[in-house]
Amino acid sequence: MPSGHENDDEQVLDSIGDAANPGTMTVCPDETLVDALDPTRALIVGGEHRRGGAGLFDVEDPADRRVIAAVADADRRDAIAAVDAAQAAFAGWRALPPRSRSEILHRAHALMLRDADDLATLVTRENGKSFADARGEVVYAAEFFRWFAEEAVRTGGDFGPSPAGGTRTLVTHRPVGVAALVTPWNFPAAMATRKIAPALAAGCTVVLKPAAETPLTAIAVVRLLAEAGVPDGVVNLVPSTDAAGVVGAWLADARVRKISFTGSTRVGQLLLRQAADRVVNTSMELGGNAPFVVTADADLDAAVEGAMVAKFRGGGQACTAANRFYVHTDVVAEFTARFGARVEALTVGPADTGAQIGPLISGAAVDRVTALVADAVATGARVAATAAVPESKGWFLAPTVLADVPAGAAILDEEIFGPVAPIVAWSDEEDLLRQVNGTEMGLAAYVYAGDLGRALRLAERIEAGMVGVNRGLVSDPAAPFGGMKQSGIGREGARVGLEEFCETQFFSVDWPV
């Protein structure tokens, strides 16, 4: 299978933008890839591959709605058994020298790259995204193992005299304990590794519940971790259709000291309430509503290129997806025309056809986005461009550019999570910033401006955890990923990603002078 990536190391950061430039990749559907995962025994608890107490659940390919696997469905007892295994493995894993944990993570990185095409194929089958996007995701996902392999040996600490004298303060970091990881369907590989890698680097053991739509990639990743040398019980996998039951059981269990969640703000709020009862340490990566700002002096070719990446990666189903485009009135017609021409040329279809844009995850998602578009049009927006969609049973939706979208339209307030780009014209910077910041979401934002100083001044005034400055892509394992306001609490990746799985402890040491 041609990968299109000559050098995975160099491609790691760029590859996730490949939706706009898919090259010639095609995917070879391979049932044996799914069968090799033995999905009816998908629970991995203490190294044992097990059936679930709740039977089996189906996983569908959203491109044709065919069932591609029957997967073991965990119940609450399975959830507790996974915590038993993680707790039993904790002392040994924590005691392992950081260098040994680091070497295991380095091997995990290498194994993911070895199997990148197969993993990407699995991602396309259960998630539907294009092969280019899926492969980009896998390389990005693997990079978390390399980054945190490098961080594992640098947990550091601090030491110094107390100002009053007579004592020294010695600060260390220790693993927080058993960590519960809960991930969404939109990045089935990367959302898992972005949590597993720092947890393992810190010395934590984990219980992981992937989204029920996309459990297969998680099975493959956990199997690779065993091959990399992760001891039994350190990473336990619990696919389930009873998300509330499984995660609720974890949050009620005194041995679980951490929850790291990626998903919707609604579910994040539920979990924060539950975590409050036991004061569980929380990291929350929640929903977004990213503005994409274009000033009058911006390089429009670059802005259109960035818009394609920021909007259409994963078919718009990314938390960082540009959700609303604010383009200066002087250039809005030109931007809309150029962007629209690019969108009309997008190919839509199943991954194995080499299409650039796949289906949405479900019929409910198609209905939701269709209703947002209809509402925008009813309130005065104009359809400026759409791409052709194949006749299919799959959950395809036409990539669409909406112009003249009125302020207050629901599509500007809600996370679209689909391939629709609403454009609003602006002329006054203060008014622009009011609109941009007039939301409870604050995950990502994008600013395109010709004058870098102006771009940075604008970026500083935007309430978002991540701002792409003349770039349509912010994700980078070496950078702190996360949001302000209701987009989340905490950061993943970077050095801080490891600290999220650590407790700080200090010793006040008597130090007579």
| Neighbouring residues of 184: CB distance < 8 A, sequence distance ≥ 6 | 191, 211, 262, 263, 264
Q: In what order do the strands lie in the sheet with 290-294?
A: 382-386, 400-403, 420-426, 322-328, 290-294, 444-448, 466-469
Could you give the CA distance from residue 250 to residue 179 in angstroms, rounded to a whole number?
9
- Interaction between residue 477 and ligand NAD (CB under 6 A): no
Amino acid at 454: R
**Which residues lie below 8 Å from residue 454, measured CB to CB, with a gap of 6+?**
295, 297
- Does the protein bind ligand NAD through residue 360 (CB under 6 A)? no
Per CB under 6 A, the list member of 247, 304, 332, 369 interacting with ligand NAD is 247
Give the number of other CB atoms < 10 A from CB of residue 159. Answer: 12
Active site residue 440: no
One of 148, 185, 335, 426 touching ligand NAD (CB under 6 A): 185
Contact range with ligand NAD by CB under 6 A, out of 85-93, 171-179, 259-267, 498-506: 259-267
Choice between 196 and 403, CB closer to ligand NAD: 196
Stretch that binds ligand NAD, among 34-42, 281-289, 346-354, 399-407 (CB under 6 A): 281-289
Query: CB 316: neighbour CB atoms within 10 A?
Result: 26
Q: How many Cβ atoms sit within 10 Å of the Cβ of residue 162?
A: 12
Closest approach, Cβ 88 to ligand NAD, in A, equals 24
* Residue 213 backbone class (left: φ over 0; alpha: ψ -120 to 50; beta: rest): alpha
Cβ atoms of 271 and 259 within 8 Å: the answer is yes
Between 184 and 359, whose beta carbon lies closer to ligand NAD?
184
319 binds ligand NAD (CB under 6 A): yes
Q: What is the 3-state secondary structure (H, E, C) of 222-259?
A: HHHHHHHCCCCCCEEECCCCCHHHHHHHHHCCCCEEEE
Among 17, 263, 359, 493, binds ligand NAD (CB under 6 A): 263
SS3 206: strand
Given the residues 60, 143, 285, 415, select the one marked as catalytic.
285
Q: Is 186 in the site for ligand NAD (CB under 6 A)?
A: yes
Q: Which of 134, 235, 286, 397 touches ligand NAD (CB under 6 A)? A: 286
Q: Cα–Cα distance between 22 and 19 in angstroms, integer? A: 6
We find the least distance from the C-beta atom of residue 501 to ligand NAD, in angstroms, to be 16
* 288 binds ligand NAD per the rule CB under 6 A: yes
- Partners of 57 in beta bridges: 71
Place of tokens 């070719």: 301
CB 42 within 8 A of CB 36: no
Sketch the per residue contact string, 398 through 427, with ligand NAD: x for CB under 6 A, - otherwise.
-----------------x------------
**In the set 4, 316, 394, 488, which binds ligand NAD (CB under 6 A)?**
488
Q: Cβ 466 to ligand NAD, closest distance in Å? A: 10
244 forms part of the interface with ligand NAD (CB under 6 A):
yes
Q: Are 127 and 318 in contact (CB under 8 A)?
A: no
C-beta of 177 vs 482, nearer to ligand NAD: 482
Cβ–Cβ < 8 Å for 410, 378: no
Looking at the Cβ atoms of 102 and 241, the one nearer to ligand NAD is 241
Residue 209 binds ligand NAD, judged by CB under 6 A: yes
For residue 116, state whether it binds ligand NAD (rule: CB under 6 A).
no
* Residue 267 binds to ligand NAD (criterion: CB under 6 A): yes
Number of residues that this document lists for the chain: 513
| Helices 452-461 & 429-437 angle (0-180, nearest 10) | 40
264 binds ligand NAD (CB under 6 A): yes
Identify which range of 123-131, 132-140, 265-273, 389-397 contacts ligand NAD by CB under 6 A: 265-273
Please choose, out of 30-38, 126-134, 142-150, 261-269, the segment that lies near ligand NAD by the rule CB under 6 A.
261-269
Instruction: State the number of binding residues for ligand NAD (CB under 6 A).
Output: 28
Sequence-distant contacts of 347-350: CB under 8 A, at least 24 apart: 347/387, 348/387, 348/388, 348/389, 348/390, 348/396, 348/398, 348/399, 349/63, 349/390, 349/392, 349/396, 350/63, 350/64, 350/128, 350/392, 350/394
Please name the residue ranges forming H helices in 313-362.
332-344
- Is 243 near ligand NAD (CB under 6 A)? yes
- Answer for which of 56, 212, 226, 383 binds ligand NAD (CB under 6 A) is 212
Per CB under 6 A, the segment of 282-290, 308-316, 428-436, 497-505 that binds ligand NAD is: 282-290
Q: DSSP letters along 157-168, please?
A: EEEEE-TTSSEE
Distance CA 335, CA 299 (A): 10
Burial of 196 (0-12, 13-18, 19+ CB in 10 A): buried
- Give the residue with the Cβ less far from ligand NAD, 186 or 295: 186
324 binds ligand NAD (CB under 6 A): no
Pick between residue 349 and residue 488 the one whose CB is nearest to ligand NAD: 488
Residue 73 touches ligand NAD, criterion: CB under 6 A: no
Q: What is the smallest separation between the CB atom of 187 and ligand NAD, expressed in angstroms?
A: 6
- Asked if 295 touches ligand NAD (CB under 6 A), the answer is no
Q: Tell me which residues touch ligand NAD (CB under 6 A).
A: 182-187, 191, 209, 211-212, 243-244, 247, 262-264, 267, 270-271, 285-288, 319, 415, 443, 483, 488
Active-site residues: which are they? Answer: 285
